């Protein structure tokens, strides 16, 4: 599961 | 992905395109801080460690590769290209950027969300990015005349993180309602550092005059 602070940003 | 973040990433990409355009067409990196460019390589290397371990989307992976590739390419151009390296303002690019790296490492070791290598390095990359523009801004103040492409490059670079702040507001309100203090405060500091540059850039644009920063 994605950690709550997803690092999907650049 | 929301519009603010997409606009932010496109503005960031555009800033790099403008810089590459300047270096490749004019074959000159006068007025560009090599130290800031080196800091950006470190920012991308330490932020994109999950490049091969986590997959979010084609877009995410592609952009990470573009940012890594272009930032390394720019440093290579400024350091090793026979023509371009002659135009580097070596004597004016004097900011002690190693302090910025040291301070960011110390801060990341003190303030982070989790004490594991990836998280601490990711946090370090956010702190470093916030201050990475300082050598460039100092160099601009020393430059007598700032050429248009250099001014546009710095403006776009500052604007991208301002758009990211809007993206964080949007995501907080519409998505996960979670506080992300570290990226938010780093992003606010980063954007604030551009404040006076934005003022002079917009003034020079409105008055149709050459961009000049007070010494």
Residues 6-45 of B with CB under 8 A from A: 9, 12
Q: B60 in contact with A at a CB cutoff of 8 Å?
A: yes
CA-based torsion, B132, B121, B58, B173: positive or negative: negative
Distance from CA of B191 to the nearest CA of A (A): 16
SS3 annotation, chain B: CCHHHHHHHHHHHHHHHHHHHHHHHCCCCCCCCHHHHHHHHHHHHHHCHHHCCCCCCHHHHHHHHHHHHHHHHHHHHHHHCCCHHHHCCCCCCCCCHHHHHHHHHHHHHHCCCCCCHHHHHHHHHHHHHHHCCHHHHHHHHHCCCCCHHHHHHHHHHHHHHHHHHHHHHHHHHHCCCCCCHHHHHHHHHHHHHCHHHHHHHHHHHHCCCCCCCCC
Please give the pLDDT value at position B144: 81
With a CB cutoff of 8 Å and minimum separation 6, the contacts of B185 are none
CA separation for the pair B139, B95 (Å, rounded)? 8
Please give the pLDDT value at position A6: 64
CB contact under 8 Å between B180 and A5, yes or no, is: yes
B67 contacts on A by Cβ (under 8 Å):
10
A6 contacts on B by Cβ (under 8 Å):
56
Please give the pLDDT value at position A3: 55
Write down the residue that tokens 């067409």 correspond to.
Answer: B25
Q: A1 in contact with B at a CB cutoff of 8 Å?
A: no
At A5, the pLDDT band (50, 70, 90 cuts) reads low
At A1, the pLDDT band (50, 70, 90 cuts) reads very low
> How many residues in total does chain B contain?
215
The parts of chain B modelled with pLDDT lower than 70 are none
| Candidate from A4, A7, A9 with C-beta closest to B178 | A4
Where does residue B115 rank: exposed (0-12), middle (13-18), buried (19+ CB within 10 A)?
A: exposed
Distance from CA of A8 to the nearest CA of B (A): 6
| Candidate from A4, A5, A8 with C-beta closest to B56 | A8
CA separation for the pair B203, B212 (Å, rounded)? 10
Residues 175-214 of B with CB under 8 A from A: 176, 178, 180, 183
In Å, what is the CA distance from B165 to each residue of B94, B109, B154? 30, 24, 18
With a CB cutoff of 8 Å and minimum separation 6, the contacts of B82 are none
Please give the pLDDT value at position A2: 46
Please give the pLDDT value at position A4: 54
């Amino acid at each position: 599961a994605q950690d709550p602070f997803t690092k999907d940003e650049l | 992905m929301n519009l603010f973040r997409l606009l932010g990433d496109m503005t960031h990409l555009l800033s790099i395109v403008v810089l590459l355009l300047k270096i490749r067409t004019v074959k000159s990196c006068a007025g560009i801080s090599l130290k800031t460019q080196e800091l950006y390589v470190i920012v991308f290397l330490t932020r994109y460690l999950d490049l091969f371990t986590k997959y979010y989307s084609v877009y995410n992976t592609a952009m990470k590769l573009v940012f890594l590739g272009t930032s390394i390419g720019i440093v290579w151009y400024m350091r090793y290209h026979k023509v371009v390296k002659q135009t580097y303002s070596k004597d004016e690019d004097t900011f002690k950027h190693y302090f910025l790296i040291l301070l960011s490492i110390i801060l990341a070791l003190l303030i982070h969300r989790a004490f594991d290598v990836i998280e601490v390095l990711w946090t370090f990359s956010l702190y470093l990015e916030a201050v990475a523009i300082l050598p460039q801004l100092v160099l601009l103040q020393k430059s007598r005349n700032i050429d248009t492409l250099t001014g546009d490059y710095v403006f776009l670079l500052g604007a991208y993180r301002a758009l990211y702040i809007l993206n964080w507001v949007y995501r907080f309100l519409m998505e996960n309602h979670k506080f992300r203090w570290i990226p938010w405060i780093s992003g606010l500091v980063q954007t604030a550092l551009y404040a006076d540059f934005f003022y002079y850039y917009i003034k020079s644009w409105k008055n149709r005059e050459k961009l000049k920063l007070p010494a």
